[in-house]
Amino acid sequence: MRHGFKAQAERLSISVREDLGQGPHDPLAVERYAERLGVVILTFAELEISAASKKQLLVADPESWSGMTIKINGLNGVLVNPEHAPERWPNTIMHELAHISLGHVATRVDVGPDGILLVSDFSQDDEDEADWLAGALLLPRDALRHFRGLGQSAEDIARDFGVSRQLCEWRLRMTGVDIQLRRGGRLTR
């Protein structure tokens, strides 16, 4: 990951919330953020393609994809795999939005059913950045420190922020928040 990228991601998590009229510790309004980027979040039900095409997208590789960016009639859309648990969707959406906001260029674009462009395959560096930025935007380090400092568990925070516990635990580990609080003697559980 580029030098300074992690700090940049934390700054972005604050400025994005400011733009949306949200506080630094608020759960991100994911759909409004997508709107700002001019991206539509699509469910399979809303996708105006034939049932056969939907089936083709879904069965292509149902386990391996959580979300994908598509271009349909000149519109940017993010499609979420409905087979995956709903608490994973925000991170899936934010991962795709991170690729878009960072201007990542896909190494592969496929033409899917009904002429939909499927934007897929990014470099590993781009994937790492998108993972990191998505996590930072959904669970800013400062917010984690704040709520952990108040004694909330990873599960509490995940629920309040509408994300999976796994993502919250990953962020707590990767940001070093728990280690920092433990050193300061402020972590009780």
Tokens (6 digits) for 125:
């560096």
Q: Which stretch binds Zn ion (CB under 5 A): 9-17, 43-51, 78-86, 127-135?
A: 127-135
Look up residue 70 and give its DSSP letter.
Answer: E
The H-or-E segment that residue 174 falls in is helix 165-175
Is the Cα dihedral 8, 9, 10, 14 positive or negative? positive
| Residue 128 beta carbon to Zn ion: minimum distance, rounded to whole angstroms | 9
The interface with Zn ion within residues 56-95 (CB under 5 A) comprises: none
Tokens (6 digits) for 157:
């925070």
Specify the residue, 16 or 68, whose C-beta has the smaller distance to Zn ion.
Answer: 68
| Residue 178 beta carbon to Zn ion: minimum distance, rounded to whole angstroms | 27
Tokens (6 digits) for 29:
């309004």
| Residue 108 beta carbon to Zn ion: minimum distance, rounded to whole angstroms | 12
Specify the residue, 87 or 127, whose C-beta has the smaller distance to Zn ion.
Answer: 127
- As a whole number of angstroms, the distance between CA 131 and CA 112 comes to 25
| Residue 122 beta carbon to Zn ion: minimum distance, rounded to whole angstroms | 5
| Residue 179 beta carbon to Zn ion: minimum distance, rounded to whole angstroms | 28
- Alpha carbon 9 to its chain centroid, in Å, reads 13
Specify the residue, 29 or 100, whose C-beta has the smaller distance to Zn ion.
Answer: 100
Q: Which stretch binds Zn ion (CB under 5 A): 72-80, 122-130, 143-151, 178-186?
A: 122-130
Look up residue 28 and give its DSSP letter.
Answer: P
Tokens (6 digits) for 75:
């519109």
Closest CA to 112 of 38, 61, 46: 61
Q: Which stretch binds Zn ion (CB under 5 A): 33-41, 76-84, 128-136, 146-154?
A: 128-136
The footprint of Zn ion (CB under 5 A) covers 127, 130
